[in-house]
Amino acid sequence: MAVPQQDRDLAAWMATYGPGLRRYFRRRADDADVDDLVQEVFLRLQSAQLSAPIDNVERYLFTAARNALISRHRRQKARASLLHDEFEDGLEIAEQRSPERIVIGQQEYRRVLEAIQNLPPRAREAFQYHRFENLTYQAIAQRMGISKEAVKELMHRALVRIVEEMEPDL
């Protein structure tokens, strides 16, 4: 099967001008985008409906490269402005701290403290080490003289009991 002349030209141009285009893009774009930009130039060339042969291939390719950079910049700018608009539209202004909201927060805080105080002593000790002193299960196990699995079980029981006290409807 014979390879069409246009495909042979494209392959030769890729081999000849590809490294120069990569250098061109490396100076003007992120390294992650270089190969994509080179590919975009050759795809543009391949898809172009040329009515006449290209007289100066190098000038044509580097003009296409410049246009690819401009197009990418415009797309990124448009995408950034869309993301910015969506972010601003999605923001909800936080509710002001009303006296009612402050009282509700204080009540919830007292309920959590009470739930922690109502835990069995060993579960409360493990919970406090983990949540307030940021100790790992292994460190808690060593401090309490028990296995790591026993600490996991104590933490599980503590969390279940706290949730049950906080949500009596469950």
Domain boundaries, the chain: 5-90, 107-166
Both tokens assigned to 37: 């930009």
pLDDT in tens, 109-123: 899 899 999 999 999
Q: Band of the pLDDT at 166, cuts 50, 70, 90?
A: confident
What is the mean predicted confidence (pLDDT) over 126-130?
A: 92
Q: Hey, which CATH number is domain 5-90, 1.20.140, 1.25.40, 1.10.10, 1.10.1740?
A: 1.10.1740
pLDDT tens digits, residue range 65-102?
898 888 888 888 887 776 665 555 555 555 677 888 88
The identity of residue 83, as a single letter, is L
Residue 96 sits at φ, ψ, to 5 deg, of -65, 150
Phi and psi torsions of 65, nearest 5°: -65, -45
Q: Rounded distance, CA 51 to CA 28, Å?
A: 31
Residues in the chain: 170
- CA-based max dimension of the chain: 88
**Each residue of 34-62: pLDDT tens digit?**
888 888 887 877 777 666 777 787 888 88
Q: What CATH number labels 107-166? A: 1.10.10.10
Residue 156 burial (C-beta neighbours within 10 Å; 0-12, 13-18, 19+):
exposed
- Separation of alpha carbons 150 and 111, rounded Å: 27
Task: Answer for the pair 166, 112: CB distance below 8 angstroms, yes or no.
Answer: yes
Provide mean pLDDT across the span 20-42.
Answer: 86
Confidence of residue 25 (pLDDT cuts 50, 70, 90): confident
Structure tokens at 147: 């296995």
